[in-house]
């Protein structure tokens, strides 16, 4: 079992380019697992965590409905935004500047073979990180992701999640709003859930901007603790 996770910082990167890169790493791990099984070998598989910011983009998961995108192709262009239908779970979401997007590409055979637990630990990583900023974040029953003021008329989502897994190898991941332009969420029904608001860390703290690097550092610390992983930084 290889519990080392290589952390790669991609900076600001086009969504499609990053998706292709994820697929490349994902396929490499899958191919090695298949080879190990076929040849009865035991070559360790690699684990990665990619951190990235995307230019404005909307992505629709396998179970999503394009009706939840509320603007036309022409309006997308006017807003310098793109749209992709992709192979993760979940409905529609937005990625853009000021948002930390994390893509763990893990072989869960190195950790635990339980997708439900995997999602709950990703949520817990974000909940613990936000607690360091004095925010009480929590889960919303039946809704993946991390929320504030659950069960009240003021419930709002601060972190969206959607993953794909095959042979216990994961891809896609989470998107935490840190300094996000929340106006872009007005163009969708986020995650296909009507009547729920979206928020960002800087808004909640009443600050113009929060250090992305500082938040990433806290996320990494909690990821390492929760997954009992050894983080190897690759900047």
User: Is 93 among the annotated ligand-binding positions?
Assistant: yes
Nearest to 209 by CA among 175, 182, 180, 233: 180
Q: Is 159 a catalytic residue?
A: no
Q: Any bridge partners for residue 102, and if so which? A: 51, 174
Catalytic, out of 5, 191, 198, 219: 191
Q: Which residue has the tokens 């490499």?
A: 28
142 known member of a binding site: no
160 is in an annotated binding site: yes
Please return the burial class of 134, using the count of CB atoms within 10 Å of its CB with bins 0-12, 13-18 and 19+. exposed
161 is in an annotated binding site: yes
Helix residue ranges per DSSP H, the chain? 15-39, 73-78, 115-131, 201-205, 212-227
Query: Any known ligand binding at 89?
Result: yes
Say how far apart CA 200 and CA 203 lie, in whole Å: 5
Q: What is the DSSP string of 62-97?
A: TT--GGGB-S-HHHHHHTT-EEEE-SSSSSEEEE-T
Establish whether 188 is an annotated binding residue: no
Query: Is 162 a known ligand-binding residue?
Result: yes
184 labelled as ligand-binding?
A: no
User: How big, in percent rounded to 5, are the helix, strand and coil portions of the chain?
Assistant: 35, 30, 30
Would the annotation count 174 as a binding residue?
yes
- Between helices 212-227 and 115-131, what is the axis angle to 10°? 140
9 is in an annotated binding site: no
Q: Binding site: what residues are annotated?
A: 88-95, 160-162, 173-175
Catalytic residues: 191
Q: Binding site for substrate: what residues are annotated?
A: 88-95, 160-162, 173-175
């Amino acid at each position: 079992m290889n519990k080392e996770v290589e952390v790669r910082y991609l900076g600001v990167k086009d969504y499609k380019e990053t998706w292709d890169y994820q697929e490349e790493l994902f396929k490499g791990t899958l191919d090695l697992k298949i080879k190990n099984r076929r040849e009865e070998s035991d070559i360790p598989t690699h684990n990665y965590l990619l951190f990235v910011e995307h230019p404005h983009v909307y992505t629709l998961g396998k179970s999503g409905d394009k009706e939840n995108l509320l603007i036309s192709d022409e309006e997308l262009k006017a807003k310098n935004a793109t749209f992709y239908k992709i192979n993760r779970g979940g409905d529609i979401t937005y990625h853009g500047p000021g948002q930390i997007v994390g893509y763990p590409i893990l072989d869960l055979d190195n950790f635990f073979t339980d997708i439900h637990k995997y999602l709950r630990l990703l949520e817990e990583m974000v909940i613990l990180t936000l607690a360091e900023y004095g925010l009480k974040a929590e889960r919303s029953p039946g809704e993946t992701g991390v929320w504030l003021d659950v069960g009240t008329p003021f419930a709002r989502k601060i972190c969206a999640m959607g993953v794909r897994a095959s042979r216990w190898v994961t891809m896609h991941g989470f998107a935490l709003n840190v300094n996000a332009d929340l106006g872009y969420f007005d163009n969708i029904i986020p995650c296909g859930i009507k009547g729920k608001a979206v928020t960002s860390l800087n808004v909640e703290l009443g600050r113009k901007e929060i250090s992305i690097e500082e938040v990433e550092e806290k996320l990494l610390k909690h990821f390492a603790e929760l997954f009992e992983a050894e983080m190897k930084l690759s900047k």
